[in-house]
């Protein structure tokens, strides 16, 4: 029987340990690559704002047709936070910019109908709406009176920049209003909580008088206008 010294045991253990470490180092990149590949396979296409595109509405989908309280309109939007914010925009438009009738608002559109490189792609995820697209055709500017535009700017500022107006894009679409943050953005959650609180507070929310000319509101509106125009799509 061969004599095994302490030195032999230490050396053998070191070799086995090195082999284990080497194997682990080789396995780690392989595992990471496999995980990345699986993530890529399961990743779903999104609209420009990072929300998942939907091929259909109402059945197996996150996009459903919702009524807009106080109007004759209904709109297909992504249910939940996006719905709360976009319906708020539509209601303020109805009360303060121009009265809306059934059919005036277009929400979700199929991914094949929108240009995926433009803000309009957000409609395909149910996170954007067009208000009277026939009256404010894409590519044109100047569709609103200055008083109406002031209200639109106030709406955007009131929502802390969570919504973007298509009139600020390089190729304008003055009918378009879309969510301008990703699904998990905390700013969206904060705005939704604010809107919901208004429902329980007298004198707050759509349909109540708002002084859009107040200095504080105008300052906030102009600051956001400058910021959003600087990031035109």
| Residues 163 and 212 both lie in one domain | yes
Q: In the prediction, which pLDDT does 43 show?
A: 75
Residue 92 three-state SS: helix
> 12: domain range?
1-43
Please tell me the total number of residues recorded for the chain in this structure: 233
Buried-state track 59-92, b at ≥16 Cβ within 10 A, e below 16: eebbbbebebeebebebbbbeebbbbbbbbbbbb
Separation between Cα atoms, residue 201 and residue 52, nearest integer Å: 34
- Beta bridge pairs of residue 130: 106, 176
pLDDT at position 37 over 50? no
Question: Sorting pLDDT into bands at 50, 70 and 90, what band is 59?
Answer: confident
Question: Sorting pLDDT into bands at 50, 70 and 90, what band is 29?
Answer: low
| Residues 222 and 111 both lie in one domain | yes
Mean of per-residue pLDDT scores for the chain: 85
pLDDT at position 140 over 80? yes
Position with higher pLDDT, 137 vs 39: 137
pLDDT at position 12 over 50? no
| Residues 95 and 18 both lie in one domain | no
Residue 220 three-state SS: helix
pLDDT at position 41 over 70? no
Question: Sorting pLDDT into bands at 50, 70 and 90, what band is 34?
Answer: low
CA torsion sign, 67 to 68 to 70 to 72? negative
Q: Which of 109-123, 140-154, 196-210, 211-225 has the lowest mean pLDDT?
A: 196-210
| Residues 132 and 211 both lie in one domain | yes
Separation between Cα atoms, residue 53 and residue 159, nearest integer Å: 24
Q: In the prediction, which pLDDT does 76 show?
A: 97
With contact defined as beta carbons under 8 Å apart, do 109 and 159 qualify? no
pLDDT at position 184 over 80? yes
Q: Which of 28-42, 62-76, 139-153, 199-213 has the lowest mean pLDDT?
A: 28-42
Q: In the prediction, which pLDDT does 113 show?
A: 94
The total of structural domains in the chain comes to: 2
- Rounded to an integer, the average pLDDT of 77-87 is 97
Largest alpha-carbon pair distance within the chain?
101
- Rounded to an integer, the average pLDDT of 192-206 is 84
Q: Which of 55-59, 91-95, 107-111 has the lowest mean pLDDT?
A: 55-59
Question: Sorting pLDDT into bands at 50, 70 and 90, what band is 201?
Answer: confident
- Rounded to an integer, the average pLDDT of 122-138 is 96
Torsion of CA 163, 167, 173, 175, to 10 degrees: 60
Position with higher pLDDT, 206 vs 148: 148
- Rounded to an integer, the average pLDDT of 91-98 is 96
| Residues 31 and 81 both lie in one domain | no
| Residues 72 and 33 both lie in one domain | no
| Residues 31 and 138 both lie in one domain | no
| Residues 37 and 80 both lie in one domain | no
Residue 171: inside a domain? yes
pTM of the model: 0.80
Sequence-distant (6+) residues with CB within 8 A of 173 are 119, 120, 130, 133, 136, 138, 139, 166, 167
């Amino acid at each position: 029987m061969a004599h095994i010294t302490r030195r032999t045991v230490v050396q053998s253990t070191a070799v086995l340990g090195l082999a284990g470490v080497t194997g682990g180092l080789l396995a780690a990149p392989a595992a990471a690559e496999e995980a990345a590949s699986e993530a890529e396979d399961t990743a779903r296409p999104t609209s420009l704002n990072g929300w998942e595109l939907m091929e259909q509405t109402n059945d197996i989908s996150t996009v459903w047709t919702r009524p807009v309280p106080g109007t004759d309109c209904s709109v297909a939007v992504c249910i939940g936070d996006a719905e709360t914010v976009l319906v708020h925009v539509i209601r303020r438009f109805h009360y303060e910019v121009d009265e809306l009738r059934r059919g005036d608002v277009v929400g979700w559109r199929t991914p094949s109908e929108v240009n995926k490189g433009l803000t309009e792609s957000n409609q395909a995820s149910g996170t954007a709406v067009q208000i009277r697209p026939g009256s404010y055709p894409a590519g044109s500017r100047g569709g609103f009176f200055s008083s109406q535009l002031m209200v639109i700017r106030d709406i955007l500022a009131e929502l802390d920049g969570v919504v973007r107006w298509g009139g600020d894009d390089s190729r304008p679409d003055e009918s378009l209003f879309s969510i301008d943050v990703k699904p998990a953005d905390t700013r969206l959650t904060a705005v939704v909580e604010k809107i919901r609180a208004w429902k329980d507070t007298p004198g707050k929310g759509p349909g109540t008088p708002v002084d859009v000319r107040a200095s504080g509101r105008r300052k906030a509106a102009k600051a956001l206008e400058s910021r959003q125009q600087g990031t035109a799509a």
